[in-house]
């Protein structure tokens, strides 16, 4: 892979706006999904039985299982956006290093 030039860095800067927005939205979805998971668990708790039995029943409700799936999707989106940000950071750092090396010459 060739070293990044000024055009590559301009593209990265433009893409950072979109990636940062995607990351913030994904982070928000993860937070919301975690809270909804708690709500779905409590909604599915029966009134009778031992604590272990009640938890087992609550974790088998369709609403809880959907909440777990939604949380997994949200974490996936957050992770993708995070690594897109890291890739942009690496390109920018390589460009800065290249510029610094050119100044030394």
Q: What is the pLDDT of residue 1?
A: 62
Q: What is the pLDDT of residue 30?
A: 96
Q: What is the pLDDT of residue 90?
A: 87
**Rounded CA gap, 77 and 83, in Å?**
10
Q: What is the pLDDT of residue 105?
A: 67
| pTM, rounded to two decimals | 0.77
Q: In terms of C-beta density within 10 A (0-12 exposed, 13-18 middle, 19 or more buried), how is residue 85 classed?
A: middle
Q: What is the pLDDT of residue 8?
A: 79
């Amino acid at each position: 892979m060739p070293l990044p030039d000024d055009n590559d860095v301009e593209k990265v800067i433009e893409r950072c706006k979109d990636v940062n927005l995607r990351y913030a939205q994904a982070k928000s979805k993860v937070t919301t999904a975690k809270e909804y998971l708690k709500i779905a668990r409590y909604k599915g708790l029966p009134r009778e039985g031992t604590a272990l039995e009640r938890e087992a029943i609550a974790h088998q409700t369709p609403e809880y299982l959907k909440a777990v799936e939604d949380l997994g999707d949200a974490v996936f989106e957050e992770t993708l956006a995070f690594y897109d940000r890291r890739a942009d950071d690496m390109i920018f750092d390589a460009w800065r290093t290249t510029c610094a090396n050119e100044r030394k010459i």
